[in-house]
């Protein structure tokens, strides 16, 4: 395949297509990968396949970033996935019990009617056979303490290692303070864990000179977010067109902080096209890669609309 062109969306796998980007042509790559949460584009992902995807894509960056260029990854700080090797722990939550039948009540019926089977005991106590089983054996066949354990894993260490192995160095980290992600929460009723309210921006640098251009932002912007670690930006509420869009303001800030007009920005997980739209708006070039045809088409449609709005304003 020939070299990827700027201001173009490509449909395909970044692990392959990134090999066709002109070497040392990018000032910035900004993206948010699959988070391994069971969205439609990651249905078949395992922790191992997720690791391999991130490792491959990060390693391909060394060749395509300019010396002094930046790779900025937006990702939640922890992953959670089922892991057979984890202890099978479940918090006890008595208030969550829908059926008032206790183990003592079952034992009493058994004492009075030793000949009763599980179904008959359930009939007397007006509950399900499953409840009888659960109370007697502590056996929750729908999950709970006998379900495979959940592995909660910090993400930053993996990214830092993959980047380091690729010749890129951790330069900075920002925190995006977003809305609470209830929908993504694997836990609410039976744990004491918090719902995720922040995501990280890991900033990696390819050794080389880079410009510290104070004119990229106004003095108010430098004070309000340029120098600040925590960026408070509302999440994208509507996810009816794509399930995991980041807000355009996040892309705008990263692009304006790390690049100048005319530079080229890559997003190898383009989704609905947010990074490309922010690039158009800020007079940068983009290259977008998206694996799923329906999202690549959506990105192209969104980009066309953005071109009409912003390029007419130039
Ligand atoms: C978290 S979403 C990115 C959303 C995007 N930032 C936006 O605002 O719309 C990740 C995207 O990466 C795509 N994707 C997953 N694996 C990919 C791969 N190997 N190559 C290219 N795209 C991939 C998914 O289809 C999904 O649209």
pLDDT for the residue 267: 98
Q: pTM for this one?
A: 0.84
Residue nearest to atom 5 of ligand 1 (CA): 271
Span 8-78+155-311: which CATH code? 3.40.50.150
How many whole angstroms from 226 Cα to the centroid of ligand 1?
Answer: 27
pLDDT for the residue 143: 47
In a mutational test of the pocket of ligand 1, which residue from 291, 294, 303 has the highest number of ligand atoms less than 8 Å from its CB?
Answer: 291
Q: Return the domain boundaries, the chain.
A: 8-78+155-311, 94-146
Q: What are phi and psi of 59, to 5 degrees?
A: -65, -30
In 3D space, the residue among 286, 289, 267, 279 whose CA is nearest the CA of residue 310 turns out to be: 279
Structural fold of domain 94-146: Arc Repressor Mutant, subunit A (1.10.10)
> In the chain, pLDDT over 90 holds for what percent of residues?
63
- The set of protein residues with a Cβ atom below 6 angstroms from ligand 1 is 13-15, 32, 34, 41, 53, 242, 244-246, 268-269, 271-272, 274, 289-292, 295
pLDDT for the residue 139: 53
How many whole angstroms from 62 Cα to the centroid of ligand 1?
Answer: 20
The ligand 1 atom at the shortest distance from the C-alpha of residue 13 is 20
pLDDT for the residue 189: 57
pLDDT for the residue 275: 98
β-pair partners for 78: 154
pLDDT for the residue 38: 63
pLDDT digits (tens, 9 = 90+) for 236-253: 877 678 888 899 999 999
Residue nearest to atom 3 of ligand 1 (CA): 271
């Amino acid at each position: 395949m020939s070299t990827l062109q700027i201001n173009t969306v490509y449909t395909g796998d970044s692990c392959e297509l990134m090999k066709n980007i002109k070497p040392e042509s990018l000032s910035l790559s900004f993206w948010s990968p699959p988070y391994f949460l069971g969205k439609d584009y990651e249905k078949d992902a395992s922790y191992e396949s997720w690791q391999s995807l991130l490792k491959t894509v990060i390693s391909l960056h060394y060749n395509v970033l300019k010396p002094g260029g930046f790779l900025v990854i937006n990702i939640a700080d922890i992953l959670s996935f089922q892991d057979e090797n984890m202890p099978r722990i479940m918090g006890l939550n008595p208030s969550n019990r829908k059926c008032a039948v206790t183990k003592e009540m079952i034992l009493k019926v058994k004492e009075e009617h030793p000949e009763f089977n599980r179904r008959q005991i359930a009939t007397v106590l007006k509950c399900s056979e499953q409840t009888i089983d659960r109370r007697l054996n502590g056996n929750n066949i729908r999950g709970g303490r006998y379900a495979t354990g959940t592995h909660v894993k910090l993400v930053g260490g993996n990214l830092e290692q993959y980047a380091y192995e690729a010749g890129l160095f951790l330069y900075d980290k920002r925190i995006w303070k977003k809305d609470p992600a209830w929908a993504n929460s694997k836990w609410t009723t039976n744990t004491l864990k918090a719902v995720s309210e922040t995501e990280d921006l890991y900033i990696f640098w390819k050794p080389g000179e880079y410009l510290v251009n104070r004119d990229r932002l106004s003095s108010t912007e430098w004070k309000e977010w340029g120098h600040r670690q925590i960026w408070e930006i509302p999440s994208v509420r509507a996810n009816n067109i794509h399930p995991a869009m980041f807000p355009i303001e996040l892309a705008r800030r990263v692009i304006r902080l790390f690049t100048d007009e005319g530079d080229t920005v890559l997003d190898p997980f383009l989704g609905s096209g947010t990074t490309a739209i922010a690039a158009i708006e800020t007079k940068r070039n983009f290259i977008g890669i998206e694996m799923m045809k329906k999202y690549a088409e959506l990105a192209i449609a969104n980009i066309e609309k953005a071109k009409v709005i912003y390029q007419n304003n130039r």
